[in-house]
Amino acid sequence: MTTITYSIPPFLNPGDQVGVLAPASIVQYQELIPGLNVLKQEWGLKIVEGTTLKSQHHQFSASDQQRQQDLQAMLDNPEIKAIIAARGGYGCSRIIDQIDFTTFLKQPKWIVGFSDLTALHSHIQQLGVASIHGPMVKSMMLDGAEEARGKLKSMLFGKAIHYRAPADPLNRTGHAQGILAGGNLCLLSHLVGSSSDLDMSGKILFIEDVNEYLYNLDRMMLQLKRAGKLANLAGLIVGQFTDMKDNEDPAFGQNFSQIIAGHVAPYHYPVAHQFPAGHVAHNLPLCMGAPAHLEVTASHTLLTYTPTAALSL
């Protein structure tokens, strides 16, 4: 297992500058205004808006070059203490290899987002920096997102996080200690073999997805399994798999939980199903690259961590 020292970026303080940009798909600026107002008025942050918030290139927020330049400028700006994505969609993988992380690694800052942002999370975690899989500016104002939004603020401002979730019949009990990693299952499977691919050995893996056919979910789990990503985990957290689709006739024969449980059945680490994070309003933020403790019992799932300056595993 590769030894990496994970750096936790400095936590935020009121008055800090935070960049907001759209590194993937197009976003409607007016949909961001409520979230931007919360960041400014309730959290006391100063917002630096990226050029990609008000542009369009086909389905993308801007051309690959423009999106890369927008992200690069925020990574290199020493006054910007965190970067929060406006939305995900598709596009981060198209620019990741053109990003220069030299300045970022000398002065790490928080990167926040989920879905397509999994590519960026995985890449910078592979470089040894923690980031936050959590609500974006567009999604943080959804009905039902109040707790997730509050937890994101707590996480960014350096408070310890403790999550308790109900038990699930497919859970596998046990305790796990390790670095939290993962994100969108589709992205994780596509990153295998790339420079953004993570060594999952000894880590607590989190997975979630949306709008996938069940047979394709099975294929993605097989990809991780055949690539050796599932055998040596410390633990597995299965988030929300929303709007899953099945063949009309014949059906696949298993739901998403059964598919995942089947692929990890040969192993012995704890598994927590139905964790409240993913493509849902109640999308609890997770600090990827931070040391975490997972407890799965017959009555509950407990996920806790206290971010520290660095941890080697």
Q: Contact 121/131 with Cβ under 8 angstroms?
A: yes
Examine the residue annotation and report whether 293 is marked as an active-site residue of this protein: no
Catalytic residue among 61, 115, 131, 189: 115
Name, in order, each residue with C-beta under 8 angstroms of 154's C-beta and a sequence gap of 6 or more: 161
Catalytic residue among 121, 133, 273, 279: 279
Examine the residue annotation and report whether 279 is marked as an active-site residue of this protein: yes
Catalytic residue among 208, 212, 263, 295: 208
User: Cβ of 310: how many Cβ atoms within 10 Å?
Assistant: 12
d(CA 156, CA 275): 21
Collapse the DSSP code of 205 into the 3-class scheme (helix H, G, I; strand E, B; otherwise coil) and give the result: strand
Name, in order, each residue with C-beta under 8 angstroms of 257's C-beta and a sequence gap of 6 or more: 168, 170, 238, 241, 273, 274
C-alpha dihedral (206, 92, 124, 105), degrees to nearest 10: -160
Examine the residue annotation and report whether 212 is marked as an active-site residue of this protein: no
Q: Tell which residue, 3, 195, 199, 198, has the closest CA to residue 99.
A: 195
Q: Contact 247/213 with Cβ under 8 angstroms?
A: yes
Catalytic residues: 115, 208, 279
